[in-house]
Amino acid sequence: MARPPIQSNVTESELIELKLITRSTKVESRLKERAFLILDWHEGKTYDVSQSLHKVSRSVVAKWRNRFYKYRIAGLSDAPRSGKPVIITEAQKNNVLQLACSKPDKGYTNWSQQRIGLNVGISQSKVHKILKEHDLKPHKVEYWCGKSTDPEFESKMLNIVGLYLTPPENALILCVDEKTQIQALDRSQPELPLKAGSPKRLTATYKRNGIVNLIASLAVHHGEIVADTMESNNVENFLKFLKKLKKIYAGKELHIIADNLSVHKHSSIKEWIAKNEKVHLHHTPTYSSWLNQVEIWFGILSKDVLKGAVWHSKQQLIDQLMEYIKTYNKERAKPFTWTYKPISSSTKELTH
């Protein structure tokens, strides 16, 4: 005669705790599985049903029922393992640190914790622990602006910051630059819109519908944007844009800030500036285009318009850019808060 099955005898408090385990997003999946096995037992499910539901063997179901029966909730955790704990030697620790701070070979640019572990002969988790103890993050890269090599950096920088802080009377300060090679990308399948539990989705395959080059001017003390699209970034188009700015802001003395692109320093540009007494062109120091405030607006444009967008034609991209600029000028245009903080005699920081 077969023995009657052992009853789970799950108490009310244990039942609550088991359900909390199954709903938690922080516990390991194996602990959740064991809690589900005990809940099955409590609900009267047979071995065969539990096996089928959780894709485990009969021996696994029996093991965790017996562990729970003997040790209750604590029995669902892994038992202490036998054997001597792994000891990481000082030599291994030093090797981890040396590898993390060196350039890898065999064509790699960066180290991963897994490859460091394989080289040293320890687990990835141990590598992670060692790096964390020494505050080393080989996976992380930060970018910084090096010191400008321009021998006239100080005078050029002070000139531009002076225009920002105390502009001449009846003068308009304009920051001008180009954002080139904006691709009008279309997708091979329609985008799937955002919905609860799922982000907007785009196919990885795409079609190029050409590129758009944008030239833009930011009126520093008003926030207004003037922009045009152009087929190519050349001297003719830059001069055409300067003439447009002069016409739009007729009667104003214009101080135009631009970077050191060769297009901006062409002889024809210098000749035109020399003939127009009310137009002054100021170049940022070498490697210091961050002094040009229109770069901030380009960042806003990228976030608001370009990121994750789909265009079925080049003209559609152009139309959207122009519509966005019109909306920006109407609803959002305002001066940026601009502060220049000298950190030391050789290093400066510009915040906004």
Q: Are residues 105 and 171 in the same domain?
A: no
Do 97 and 32 share a domain, yes or no?
no
**Does 144 fall in a domain?**
no
Give this prediction's pTM: 0.61
> Are 340 and 209 in a shared domain?
yes
Position of tokens 């030391």?
Answer: 344
For residues 228 and 246, give the distance between their C-alpha atoms in angstroms, rounded to a whole number.
14
Same domain (yes/no): 97, 175: no
The reply to whether 177 and 324 lie within a common domain is: yes
The verdict on 163 and 232 lying in the same domain is yes
Total domain count, the chain: 3
Q: Are residues 122 and 212 in the same domain?
A: no
Q: Judge whether 221 lies within some domain.
A: yes
The side-by-side arrangement of strands in the sheet containing 206-219 is: 225-230, 206-219, 171-187, 253-258, 279-283
Is beta strand 253-258 parallel, antiparallel or unpaired with respect to 171-187? parallel
Task: Please report the beta strands in the chain, taking only residues with DSSP state E, as ranges in sequence order.
Answer: 171-187, 206-219, 225-230, 253-258, 279-283, 339-342, 348-351
Q: What is the phi/psi pair of residue 311, to 5°?
A: -130, 130
- In a domain, residue 305? The reply is yes
**Is residue 27 within 8 Å of residue 21, measured between CB atoms?**
yes
Residues 170 and 312 in one domain: yes
Indicate if 71 and 99 belong to the same structural domain. no
Residues 170 and 295 in one domain: yes
Return per-residue pLDDT of the chain as tens, 352 residues: 455 567 778 888 888 888 888 888 888 888 899 999 989 988 888 888 988 888 999 999 999 989 888 888 888 888 776 666 667 888 899 999 999 999 888 888 888 999 999 998 899 999 999 999 999 988 787 766 667 788 889 899 999 999 999 999 989 999 999 999 999 888 767 776 777 877 777 767 778 889 999 999 999 999 999 999 999 999 999 999 999 999 999 989 999 999 999 999 999 999 999 999 999 999 999 888 889 999 999 999 999 999 878 889 999 999 999 999 999 999 999 999 866 565 443 444 444 4
**Single residue among 28, 52, 76 that ends a domain in this structure:** 76
φ/ψ of 136, rounded to 5, equals -110, 135
Do 255 and 298 share a domain, yes or no?
A: yes
Indicate whether 181 and 62 sit together in one domain. Answer: no
Output the CA–CA distances (angstroms, integers) from residue 166 to 151, 216, 281, 286, in the order listed. 24, 23, 17, 23
The CA distance from 88 to 95, in Å, is 11
Tokens describing residue 256: 């135009």
Q: Is residue 183 in a domain?
A: yes
Question: 161 Cβ partners below 8 Å, 6+ apart?
Answer: 291, 340
Residue 125 lies in a domain: yes
Provide CB contacts within 8 A for 140, sequence distance 6+.
Answer: none
Q: Can you give the residue range of the structural domain that contains 106?
A: 91-133
| Domain termination residue (choose one: 52, 76, 100) | 76
Domain assignment of residue 319, yes or no: yes
